[in-house]
Amino acid sequence: MQLRYNFRLYPTPGQCGSLARAFGCARVVFNDGLRARQDARENGLPYISDGELSIRVITQAKKTPERAWLGEVSAVVLQQALADLNTAYRNFFASVTGKRKGPKAAAPRFRSRKDNRQAIRFTKNARFAVTAGGKLRLPKIGDVPVRWSRELPAEPSSVTVVKDAAGRYFASFVVETSDEPLPESAAEVGIDLGLSHFAVTSDGRKVDNPRFLRRAERRLRKAQQDLSRKAKGSANRAKARAKVAKAHARVADARRDWAHRLSTQIIRENQAVYVENLAVSGLGRTRLAKSVHDAGWSQFVGMLEYKAARYGRHFARIDRWFPSSKLCSTPGCGHIDDTMPLNVRSWECPQCGTVHDRDVNAAKNILAAGRVDRLNACGARVRPGPAPAQREEAGSLRGAAWRGTG
Cis status of the peptide bond prior to 384, with omega within 30 of 0: yes
Is pLDDT larger for residue 23 or for residue 116? 23
| pLDDT at residue 378, rounded to an integer | 61
Known catalytic residue at 164: no
* Alpha helix positions (H), 270-387: 280-283, 289-295, 297-310, 358-378
Is pLDDT larger for residue 212 or for residue 338? 212
Known catalytic residue at 253: no
The catalytic residue among 294, 337, 359, 393 is 359
Evaluate whether 304 touches 263 at the Cβ level (below 8 Å).
yes
pLDDT at 388 over 60: no
| pLDDT grade for 344, boundaries at 50, 70 and 90 | confident
| pLDDT at residue 284, rounded to an integer | 82
Residue 198: phi and psi, rounded to 5, are -60, -45
The catalytic residue among 276, 305, 337, 393 is 276
Query: What share of the chain in percent tops pLDDT 90?
Result: 71
| pLDDT at residue 379, rounded to an integer | 57
pLDDT at 401 over 50: no
Q: Which amino acid is at 383?
A: R
pTM of the complete model: 0.84
As a dihedral over the C-alpha atoms of residue 261, residue 263, residue 269, residue 275, rounded to 10 degrees, the angle is: 160
381 CB neighbour count, 10 Å cutoff: 12
Q: Whole-angstrom Cα distance, residue 200 to residue 194?
A: 8
pLDDT at 381 over 80: no
Query: What share of the chain in percent tops pLDDT 70?
Result: 93
User: What is the H or E stretch that residue 198 is in?
Assistant: strand 197-201
Average of per-residue pLDDT values in the chain: 89
Span 43-59, average pLDDT? 95
Q: Which amino acid is at 318?
A: I
Q: Whole-angstrom Cα distance, residue 289 to residue 285?
A: 6
CA 304 to chain CA centroid, Å, is: 11
pLDDT at 394 over 50: no
Is pLDDT larger for residue 380 or for residue 173? 173
Three-state SS for 329? coil
Sheet bearing 129-130, strands edge to edge: 129-130, 136-138, 142-144
Q: Enter the DSSP assignment of 56.
A: I
| pLDDT at residue 349, rounded to an integer | 86
Per-residue model confidence as pLDDT tens digits over 240-283: 999 999 999 999 999 999 999 999 999 999 999 999 988 888 88
Question: How many helices and strands, by DSSP H and E, does the chain display?
Answer: 11, 15
User: What is the H or E stretch that residue 9 is in?
Assistant: strand 2-9
User: Strand runs (DSSP E) across 217-292, as ranges?
Assistant: 272-276
Length of the chain: 406
Q: Whole-angstrom Cα distance, residue 266 to residue 289?
A: 26
Evaluate whether 31 touches 110 at the Cβ level (below 8 Å).
yes
| pLDDT grade for 377, boundaries at 50, 70 and 90 | low
User: With 0-12 CB in 10 A as exposed, 13-18 as middle and 19+ as buried, what is 252?
Assistant: middle
Name the β-bridge partners of 4: 174
Per-residue model confidence as pLDDT tens digits over 151-180: 999 999 999 999 999 999 999 999 998 888
Known catalytic residue at 276: yes
Lowest average pLDDT, out of 287-296, 360-369, 396-405, goes to 396-405
Evaluate whether 281 touches 177 at the Cβ level (below 8 Å).
no
pLDDT at 395 over 50: no
| pLDDT at residue 4, rounded to an integer | 93
Three-state SS for 164? coil
The catalytic residue among 32, 188, 192, 337 is 192
Evaluate whether 290 touches 330 at the Cβ level (below 8 Å).
no
Name the β-bridge partners of 147: 8
